[in-house]
A = this chain, B = another copy of it.
Amino acid sequence: MSELVEALIRKLRFIGELGREEEAAVRDIPLHLAQLAKGDDTASDGEVVDQSCLLIEGYMHRYKDLPNGNRQIISFHVAGDIPDLQSLHLKRMDHSLAATSASTVAFLKHTDLTAALRRAPRLTDLFWRDTLIDAASYRQMMTILGQAGAASRMAHLFCDLYVRLKTVGKTVDLSFMLPVTQTELAYALGITPVHVNRILQELRRQSLIEFEHGRAVILDWNRLEEQAQFDPTYLHHPYPE
């Protein structure tokens, strides 16, 4: 049972110092398991929630719909993430959280989370830091959405996912699974699905990336990074000092 939280433990170690006390407190948080089908929402914009969602297996994403129906995907998430940790202090959702692919999640009741933080106060700093890294990614995405063209946006998404997936061991060489449609990429990048298709062809033609059947392959990391204007500072990973 306890191995369900391994991904979270590993992530917390990555974010900062995780002592014995803190680790025990995390492991003792009661988990309420659930299986999600592709497209299921675990929390919807406007809703008041009393639990957060730990992703055990699969992919999730957060998104916001505008009144006119346009959708923006805010972020993608992988095992070990608690995508809606912010709801611990912002009870009313300002966006939605959905399963990108069939996924396994564990719901963490806010009362249980709060109890864990009381038991091991230093966990608070770790969780806070996690939400701050989240915010740092938003800043980066705002910058890319505001200042970069479609090809750079696409390249940046691939760089971002590759680096984050590599840290959790979900890459194979320079490739990784990305179970999303071109339409979902369009939602994430602020361009139309038709344009996504054309940009992917262009990047393929330039031998930067391939993307087919939910599998992404990076063909030339250096040129991809350049196209994306990628600078991993915003990820606040410990190693690249």
A residues adjacent to B (C-beta < 8 A)? 45-46, 62, 64, 66-68, 70-72, 74, 86, 89-90, 92, 94-95, 121, 124-125, 128-129, 131-136, 138-143, 145-148, 189-190, 229, 231, 233-234, 236
The complex places the Cα of A131 from the Cα of B128 at a distance, in Å, of 9
Q: Is the CB of A128 within 8 A of B89?
A: yes
| CB <8 Å contact, A229 and B129 | no
List 9 A-B residue pairs with CB atoms under 8 Å apart, sorted by A's residue number: A64-B139, A66-B148, A74-B143, A90-B132, A90-B133, A94-B140, A138-B142, A142-B142, A146-B189
Measured between beta carbons, the chain B residues less than 8 angstroms from A45 are 233
Minimum CB–CB distance for A93 against chain B, Å:
8
A66 to B94, CA, bound (A): 28
Is B146 touching A233 in the complex (CB atoms < 8 A)? no
Q: Which residue of B lies closest to A231 (CB)?
A: B67
A141 CB to nearest B CB, Å: 6
Q: Which residues of B contact A92 (CB under 8 A)?
A: 233, 236
Number of copies of this kind of chain in the complex: 2
A-B pairs, top 9 by smallest CB distance, nearest first, are A146-B190, A138-B138, A135-B135, A70-B147, A72-B143, A145-B145, A89-B129, A72-B146, A94-B234
Residues of B contacting A131 in the complex (Cβ-Cβ under 8 angstroms): 128, 131-132, 135
Partner of A46, one of B62, B70, B134, B233: B233
Least CB distance, A88 to chain B, in whole angstroms:
9
In the complex, the chain B residue whose C-beta lies closest to that of A126 is: B89
CB pair A147 B66 closer than 8 Å: yes
Contacting A229 at CB < 8 Å: which of B68, B71, B135?
A: B68
Q: Tell me which of B46, B72, B143 contacts A64 (CB under 8 A).
A: B143
Task: Among B46, B64, B121, point to the contact of A140 (Cβ < 8 A).
Answer: B64
C-alpha gap A134/B62 in the complex (Å)? 17
Cα A106 to Cα B140 with chains together (Å): 27
Of the listed residues A131, A133, A141, A142, the one surrounded by the most CB atoms of chain B closer than 10 A to its CB is: A142
Residues of B within 8 A of A145 (CB): 142, 145-146, 190
